[in-house]
Amino acid sequence: MSRIGKKPIPLPKGVTVNVAERLTVQGPKGKLTVPIPAGIRVDQKDGHLEVVRENDNLAALHGLTRALAANAVTGVSTGFTRELDVVGTGFRADVKGKIATFTLGYSHPIEMLLPEGIEVKVDKQTHVIVTGYDREVVGQIAAEIRALRPPDPYKNKGVRYTGEVLRKKAGKTGAGAK
């Protein structure tokens, strides 16, 4: 039995929901749509959304649909945030309008065009904060920024998520070690 799918989704003030073939969630931060698979029904009851399935064969889709709907409601009301740290001598980040520029030890700075609904702030040139109302897009942009220079296990340089634990590997030792 899906435990996630059974939980009701509370609707905060300012969030409107339209249930049709797709679930449309609109709030102060933006508007998102969630597909509703066949056999899954979404009911709106006194300030809550409830996701109901027709039979037990749809347990996985039940939990998935409920999670996507909950993420949409949270996104349009409060939004999502991912934080990254740029670690390394001379490594830095900068944002001008919709273009983020990263200097990561390559021969050229890397420019990244930010999609609609995503905001990037940079603190002290080494702390990057990605915010937006769509959880999937926020996570994807953060992953793309991290992929520009993944953390190096030998020198611990690169772009990493804030709080990400890295294991530093020992480098080569002296000659003739067996």
In a domain, 177, yes or no: no
Identify which of 167, 147, 145, 148 has the alpha carbon closest to the alpha carbon of residue 156: 167
Model pTM greater than 0.75?
Answer: yes
Q: Identify the domain containing residue 45 by its residue range.
A: 3-77
Same domain, yes or no, for 71 and 110?
A: no
* CA–CA distance, 121 with 46 (Å, rounded to integer): 38
- Sole residue written with tokens 């994807």: 140
Same domain, yes or no, for 63 and 25?
A: yes
- What is the percentage of the chain residues whose pLDDT exceeds 70? 96
Instruction: Look at residues 45, 77, 109 and tell me which one is the last residue of a structural domain.
Output: 77
- What is the percentage of the chain residues whose pLDDT exceeds 90? 10
Joined together, the tokens standing for residue 91 give 């490594």
Same domain, yes or no, for 69 and 120?
A: no
* Cα–Cα separations (whole angstroms), residue 94 to 14, 66, 142, 162: 34, 37, 15, 17
pLDDT digits (tens, 9 = 90+) for 80-104: 999 998 888 888 899 988 898 989 8
In a domain, 94, yes or no: yes
Identify any residues that bridge with 24 across adjacent strands, giving them in sequence order. Answer: 18, 33
Mean pLDDT of 156-164: 86
Confidence tier at 176 by pLDDT (50, 70, 90): low
